């Protein structure tokens, strides 16, 4: 299940003491023979990128897109930890490589948890060899790995996609993750398709753009956000277009699970902006609406207050003419040409009380369209985030 | 008190039925003889600017910076109301002008309340003449006007500044107003200093930049935000530098009252960013931190989680080098050179439990400095904003 579904991969997840008690906090995903395969990654654009992000980027650059394993920990982001943090991240790769018999540069590293704390080095020295020793290609092993990377997630997140002749598996963690307020999101994908490293990187980039990026992975990203893919090649070559489609499907599945698990959220809302002067302006407008605390409050209350949508669009720094704007909830137009429109109030109200809400705005200015997913703002979200300890 | 403190002004505030029941909802501020004096305004940059903003801008342009009165209503923003809204706003000016005996273009108009609803025209036809009839230069009249523009404000907001030889009075409304989540903020200032219209506009612009703009009035502004000033000249010419200083003081006083009255907030936090490559980058960084829901949650919990500050700065789109960053709470440095710094935990904790919190970040890159005021995120804020009715 998840990362162990495609042929050629093993996984493990255990508790090594980074978190308190016996909560799983370390995962390893590796090829079944410990030899490197083609790999690619998409990383946070945050300039405060955590040590594991810096190390993984460097490793992929050194190998030209090859990796034998990914080692991941939860409970500590190893971010804002300076040279000590980079040394610890490299040590995680070394320990994994030593167990597998590969080069340290062939191991990628991910961390998630609190920022600003050094990793407990002793846990790693004993824990990583134990995890490498526990690697297995079973379903259970895939599940164990997915569980070990959870932080505030309430549910484990895995995906399995049958590409027709090849398979894609994946695991992810992430919640409360909607820009600009996400905690870290991590995802590791595996496939048994044979694909060149460059093609794999391009396909992953496009898959991420159409899924995770429509929630989080751009301007406002956390210090640790990472999406990785390893391709074992065991199923032989796959048509690139099919591979990209399947990767996109896996990423969309995982991102939908994350949105549904947003901390404290009770509704998931898809904000669509059409009719913008450009795709970039549509995306900026959709993001401005999605990030608005007032809009998120309205979503929580199920309140059809479209004035807030219009106000956010008018101050989004994009082309905007109020006389051309229309707004709809669940397809019911509530504002047309910038003023209130007659509509079926009961239908709008019923739609807004649901767990999946659709908000659409058309700017009437051009062909630009974009969508972004957000959630409502709740007291539970505040409770979950007001204290880290 | 407030707008009636300087010589040459009258005010009134009454309930005319825009809001339910007998809640005051209409204010007029005018010169005592109904003749125009020099005036200036700063308006929202929101492209969905409400009808009264459009009309007031046009009137000031027509008169070249002269006004005899301001008519303001609460309970309805007259925004996203199209041509009907513009006709209603012009009608508010006409009715006021008719009562005063001035030209309609010499009346400025402000509205605040819900977006997307037409004003109840009948209320205006009888209510505005009644308000003009009630104009008085008493303290009570100034208070009545200030009360009539309140919406979710829990406290009336007025200011009185003695400039030394001239006076400035003012009233404002605004709460929940911290970008990008403010409701409308309105402010009307009066002075008995004699000053040219051009000088008055320049002085107001600078005063607003150093006060309201450090909370709200820029990129992310509401549809109705407006700051107006009328100068009766009764106290004779004032040195421009003194006038500007006094106007700044009045604006700062009003903006501090707004911050302290933020919907549901329990703490006011001043975010200072120094060492940025430019003032603009410092402002962008400070705003990114101030608007972060996660930072606002930490402020609510009094939690010294500086990792969120660093993460927001790293994704603010500004020059950033984590190895040079330091962060302090109330002057206690908790992060130095991008990693945790030893600090007095009890002192930091005590500071973060206070009602006024200071967060400082130095980027170590240049001379750019800026500050912005925000508040903590609370369940009360959500409650207040989840339903408009």
Give the domain CATH number at B183. 3.60.70.12
Q: What is the pTM of this model?
A: 0.82
Q: Average of pLDDT values for A305-323?
A: 93
- Beta-carbon separation of B116 and A339 below 8 A: yes
Measured at the CA of B33, the angle between CA B65 and CA B57, to 5 degrees, comes to 25
Q: Are residues A308 and A342 in the same domain?
A: yes
- Beta-carbon separation of B303 and A389 below 8 A: yes
Among chain B residues, CA nearest to A317 = B219
Q: Is the peptide bond before A288 cis (omega within 30 degrees of 0)?
A: no
CATH number at residue A314: 3.10.20.340
Interface test mutation site (partner B, options A311, A322, A383, max chain B beta carbons within 10 A): A311
Cα-atom radius of gyration of chain B, to the nearest Å?
A: 22
**Residue ranges, chain B, pLDDT below 70:** 175-183, 214-220, 263, 389
Name which of A220, A176, A186 is nearest A74 in CA terms: A186
Q: Are A209 and A189 in contact (CB under 8 A)?
A: no
Higher confidence at residue A384 or residue A146? Answer: A146
Contacts of A315 in chain B (CB under 8 A): 44-48, 180, 219-222
A350: Cβ contacts below 8 Å, ≥ 6 apart = none
Q: Are residues A234 and A275 in the same domain?
A: no
B273: Cβ contacts below 8 Å, ≥ 6 apart = B282, B283, B285, B286, B289, B313, B360, B361, B362, B363, B368, B369, B370, B371
Q: What is the 3-state secondary structure (H, E, C) of B189-247?
A: EEECCECCHHHHHHHHHHHHHCCHHHCCCCCCCCCCCEEEEEECCCCCECCHHHHHHHH
Q: Which two tokens stand for residue A143?
A: 């599940």
Gap between the Cα atoms of A271 and A372, Å rounded = 5
Q: Are residues A6 and A150 in the same domain?
A: yes
Q: Are residues B335 and B244 in the same domain?
A: no
Gap between the Cα atoms of A271 and A179, Å rounded = 13
Higher confidence at residue A342 or residue A219? Answer: A342
Q: Are residues B206 and B289 in the same domain?
A: no
Q: Which of B5, B159, B184, B374 is catalytic?
A: B184
Q: Are residues A308 and A247 in the same domain?
A: no
Gap between the Cα atoms of A197 and A203, Å rounded = 10
> Which residue reads 């709470």 in tokens?
B329
To the nearest whole Å, the CA of B137 is away from the closest chain A CA by 36
Backbone torsions φ then ψ of B109, nearest 5 degrees:
-130, 135
Q: Are residues B54 and B163 in the same domain?
A: yes
Nearest Cβ partner of B315 from A118, A220, A386? A220
- Beta-carbon separation of B82 and A219 below 8 A: no
Nearest Cβ partner of A335 from B77, B116, B388? B116
Q: Are residues A153 and A242 in the same domain?
A: yes
ipTM over 0.90: no
Query: Quick check: A163 pLDDT over 90?
Result: yes
The residue among B244, B260, B276 that closes a domain is B260
Contacts of A310 in chain B (CB under 8 A): 48, 79-80, 115-116, 223
Give the count of beta carbons closer than 10 Å to the beta carbon of residue A33: 14
Q: Are residues A195 and A307 in the same domain?
A: no
The predicted pLDDT at position B175 comes to 67
For the segment A175-208, what is each residue's pLDDT rounded down to a tens digit? 654 443 445 789 999 999 999 999 999 999 999 8
The residue among B201, B229, B260 that closes a domain is B260
For the segment A110-145, what is each residue's pLDDT rounded down to a tens digit? 999 989 999 998 999 999 999 999 999 999 999 999
The predicted pLDDT at position B258 comes to 85
Residues β-bridged to residue A42: A227
Burial of B255-287, coded b for 16+ CB within 10 Å and e otherwise, reads bbbbbbbbbbbebbbbbbbbbbebeebbbbbbb
Q: Are B18 and B75 in contact (CB under 8 A)?
A: yes
The residue among A214, A242, A260 that closes a domain is A260
Q: Which of A71-75, A216-220, B109-113, B374-378 is predicted least confidently?
A: A216-220
Q: Which two tokens stand for residue A147?
A: 């569980």
Q: Are residues B139 and B242 in the same domain?
A: yes
Nearest Cβ partner of A386 from B219, B300, B382? B300
The predicted pLDDT at position A20 comes to 85
Gap between the Cα atoms of B42 and B206, Å rounded = 10
Q: Are residues A184 and A35 in the same domain?
A: yes
Q: Which two tokens stand for residue A53?
A: 């992000």
Provide the number of structural domains found in chain A: 2
- Beta-carbon separation of A339 and B291 below 8 A: no
Q: Which residues of A are catalytic?
A: 184
Nearest Cβ partner of B314 from A47, A117, A306? A47
- State yes or no: is B5 an active-site residue: no
The predicted pLDDT at position B263 comes to 67
Q: Which two tokens stand for residue B282?
A: 């410092």
Q: Are B360 and B325 in contact (CB under 8 A)?
A: no
According to DSSP, the β-strands at B186-191 and B226-231 are parallel
Contacts of B81 in chain A (CB under 8 A): 339
Contacts of B325 in chain A (CB under 8 A): 48
Residue B250 gets which letter from DSSP? H
- Beta-carbon separation of B386 and A79 below 8 A: no
The predicted pLDDT at position B215 comes to 62
Q: Are residues A183 and A34 in the same domain?
A: yes
Nearest Cβ partner of A82 from B45, B176, B337? B337
Query: Quick check: A381 pLDDT over 80?
Result: no
Residues β-bridged to residue A157: A172
To the nearest whole Å, the CA of A251 is away from the closest chain B CA by 23
Q: Are B227 and B251 in contact (CB under 8 A)?
A: yes
Residue-range definition of the domain harbouring residue B14: 2-260
The predicted pLDDT at position B182 comes to 44
Q: Which two tokens stand for residue A137?
A: 């290609």
Q: Are B300 and B376 in contact (CB under 8 A)?
A: yes
Burial of B317-356, coded b for 16+ CB within 10 Å and e otherwise, reads ebbbebeebbbbbeebbbbbebbbeebeeeebeebbeeee
Gap between the Cα atoms of B362 and A362, Å rounded = 41
- Beta-carbon separation of A180 and B288 below 8 A: yes
Measured at the CA of A125, the angle between CA A121 and CA A129, to 5 degrees, comes to 145
Query: Which stretches of B1-156 are assigned E, i.e. beta strand?
Result: 9-14, 26-31, 37-43, 66-67, 69-74, 107-112
Q: Are A252 and A355 in contact (CB under 8 A)?
A: no
Contacts of A77 in chain B (CB under 8 A): 307
To the nearest whole Å, the CA of B292 is away from the closest chain A CA by 7
């Amino acid at each position: 299940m998840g990362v162990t579904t495609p042929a050629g991969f093993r996984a493990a997840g255990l508790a090594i003491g980074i978190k308190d008690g016996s909560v799983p906090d370390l995962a390893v995903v590796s090829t079944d023979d410990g030899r490197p395969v083609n790999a690619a990654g998409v990383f946070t654009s945050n300039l405060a990128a955590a040590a594991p992000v810096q190390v993984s980027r460097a490793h992929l650059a050194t190998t030209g897109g090859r990796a034998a394993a990914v080692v991941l920990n939860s409970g500590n982001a190893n971010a804002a930890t300076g040279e000590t943090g980079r040394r610890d991240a490299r040590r995680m790769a070394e320990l994994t490589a030593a167990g597998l018999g590969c080069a340290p540069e062939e191991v990628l590293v991910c961390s998630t948890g609190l920022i600003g704390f050094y990793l407990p080095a002793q846990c790693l020295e004993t824990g990583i060899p134990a995890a490498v020793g526990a690697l297995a290609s079973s379903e259970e092993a895939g599940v164990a790995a997915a569980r070990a990377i959870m932080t505030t997630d309430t549910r484990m997140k895995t995906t399995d996609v049958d590409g027709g002749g090849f398979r894609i598996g994946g695991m992810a963690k992430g919640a409360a993750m909607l820009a600009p307020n996400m905690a870290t999101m991590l995802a590791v994908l595996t496939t048994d398709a044979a694909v060149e490293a460059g093609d794999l990187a391009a396909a992953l980039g496009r898959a991420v753009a159409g899924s995770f990026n429509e929630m989080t992975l751009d301007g406002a990203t956390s210090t640790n956000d990472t999406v990785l893919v390893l391709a074992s090649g065991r199923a032989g070559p796959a048509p690139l277009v099919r591979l990209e489609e399947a990767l996109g499907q896996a990423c969309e599945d995982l991102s939908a699970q994350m949105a549904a698990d947003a901390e404290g959220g009770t509704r998931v809302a898809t904000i669509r902006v059409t009719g913008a002067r450009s795709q970039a302006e549509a995306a900026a407008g959709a993001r401005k609406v999605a990030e608005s605390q007032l809009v998120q409050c309205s979503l929580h209350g199920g309140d059809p207050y479209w004035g807030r949508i219009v106000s956010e669009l008018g101050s989004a720094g994009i082309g905007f003419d109020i006389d051309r704007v229309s707004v709809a909830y669940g397809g019911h137009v509530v504002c047309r040409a910038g003023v209130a429109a007659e509509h079926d109030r009961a239908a709008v109200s019923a739609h807004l009380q649901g767990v999946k809400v659709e908000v659409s705005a058309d700017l009437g200015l051009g062909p630009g369209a974009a969508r972004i997913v957000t959630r409502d703002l709740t007291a539970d979200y505040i409770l979950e985030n007001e204290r880290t300890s």
